[in-house]
Amino acid sequence: MGLARTPRTAWIEQGLEALAAAGPEAVRIEVLAQALGVSKGGFYGYFRNRNALLTEMLDTWERESAEAVIEEVEGGGGDARARLDRLFTITAAPGGPARGVAVELAVRDWARRDPAVAERLWRVDNRRMAYLRSLFGSFCADEREVELRCMLTFSLRLGGHLVAADHGGLSRTEVMELARKRLLE
């Protein structure tokens, strides 16, 4: 009986963990193999080289952080406010889409140094903003208000994890709930 191969997805998942922890430079075949407890030979059964893995990691991030989230939100039905409420719940969950904010921030940092990653990030962010516009636009008539709510929603998702301040006696969860209610008015 032959040895079981490490699944392709395990290499991608381990690569995303390394990316989140220390950036794209940390995504090294030898290090990933060691973390997976396998030899690096199995890597080449799935990927031509490290760049092929990096591309698939970005594909996974894009699919999980944009398209899969939109599909999950839409799959629950309801009006735009109900879908936005579901979107806020999904993106606030521990781990959230594509392993949460850690991978998101790592991709954003990587995009500052790599034009191809920057182009992909631009595409993903525009997809997300277009989706938000479609939801907010269904109950906000003012285009400026729609854009404001989209930007606030997006900024809260990314920046809310970076703020280390107290909230005047409120918990972070309470403040985020207040923001959610205001955005859905």
- The DSSP bridge partners found for residue 170 are 167
Q: What is the pLDDT of residue 4?
A: 52
% of the chain at pLDDT higher than 90: 81
Interacting residues of 19 by C-beta distance below 8 A, sequence separation 6+: 26, 27, 57, 103, 106, 107, 110
- 41's tokens: 């030979």
d(CA 86, CA 101): 18
d(CA 9, CA 164): 34
95 band by pLDDT with thresholds 50, 70 and 90: low
> For the residues 74-92, what does the mean pLDDT come to?
94
d(CA 51, CA 99): 21
Interacting residues of 30 by C-beta distance below 8 A, sequence separation 6+: 40
- Whether the predicted pLDDT of 1 surpasses 60: no
d(CA 21, CA 162): 16
Q: What is the pLDDT of residue 5?
A: 65
pLDDT in tens, 101-120: 899 999 999 999 999 999 99
**Domains, the chain, ordered by start:** 8-183 (1.10.357.10)
Output 2 or 185, whichever has higher pLDDT. Answer: 185
* 3-class secondary structure, 170: strand
CA 85 to chain centre: 18
> For the residues 154-175, what does the mean pLDDT come to?
89
3 band by pLDDT with thresholds 50, 70 and 90: very low
